[in-house]
Amino acid sequence: MTKLCSQAFIFLVIACLSLLGSILLKGKIKAIISEIIVIAVITYILNWLCRNGYKTLSWVLMFIPSIAYLFLLMIMISVATKKA
Please tell me the predicted confidence (pLDDT) of residue 76: 77
Res 36: pLDDT: 92
pLDDT in tens, 23-59: 887 778 888 898 899 999 999 999 999 999 998 898 8
pLDDT at 37: 94
Helical H runs in 5-54?
A: 6-24, 29-51
Q: Name the residue ranges covered by the structural domains of the chain.
A: 6-79
**% of the chain exceeding 70 in pLDDT:** 96
The predicted model scores a pTM of 0.76
For residue 80, what are the contacts with CB-CB under 8 A and spacing of at least 6? 21, 24, 25
